[in-house]
Structure 1
Amino acid sequence: MKMKKRAVGVVVAAFAAAALPLMAASPASADQGDCQYYLHEEGYKVGPKIESGCETGAHSSPIAYGSCLSYLLNIGVRADQAQRACGLAGA
């Protein structure tokens, strides 16, 4: 019985060690926050539309960047600022 408890403890510890990097990785929303903060600092009112655009761009891929850029441009963000914001979102 003692050996079985020890084996279970080793398995649990190994699982926790393997899962820790996944749990500690920064979520996409952190990059989304950088995008939103940048646009706020540029004078835009951050609301649901900007939040949605930044969330779209927070998935580190060319498609996500393009979607973010298109969305922000369509809601009136200047091109250079939209490019920077989407770059921050996908960083």
Structure 2
Amino acid sequence: MKMKKRAVGVMAATFAAAALPLMAATPASADQGDCQYYLHEQGYNVGPKIEAACKTGSEFSAIAFGSCLGQLLNIGVRGDHAQEACGLAG
């Protein structure tokens, strides 16, 4: 029983040590909040559709940027504003 508890403790510590670099590797300079704030400052009402688009854009990939852009354009955000907002998100 004692050996089993020790093995579980070692596994938990190993998992925590492996997960730490992954959590620290997320980009700190851009997020969906920046995207939403930018659109708010441009005069858009930030609601669920803009929130969803900005969240998609924050996934940090070319596909996410394109999806964010398409979603914002579909709800009437001007092209230059949509590009800037999605750039801020990702």
TM-score (ref. length: structure 2): 0.73
Q: Indicate the residue corresponding to 1:68 in structure 2.
A: 68
Q: Show structure 2 runs of 5+ residues with no match.
A: none
Distance in 1 between residues matched to 2:23 and 2:52, nearest whole Å = 24
Q: How much does 1:24 deviate?
A: 5.2
Q: Indicate the residue corresponding to 1:86 in structure 2.
A: 86
Q: Indicate the residue corresponding to 1:38 in structure 2.
A: 38
**Alignment RMSD:** 2.6
> Deviating runs (4+, > 4 A) in structure 1?
5-8, 23-27
Length, aligned pairs only: 87
Percent identity at matched positions? 77
Query: CA offsets per residue over residues 6-52 of structure 1, 9 Å max, x none?
Result: 5543333222212233455659xx71121111111222110012112
Query: CA offsets per residue over residues 27-84 of structure 1, 9 Å max, x none?
Result: 9xx7112111111122211001211221222222222211211221121211111101
The 1:17–1:32 alpha-carbon spacing in structure 2 relative to 1, beyond 3 Å, is same
Aligned amino acid, residue 42 of structure 1: Q
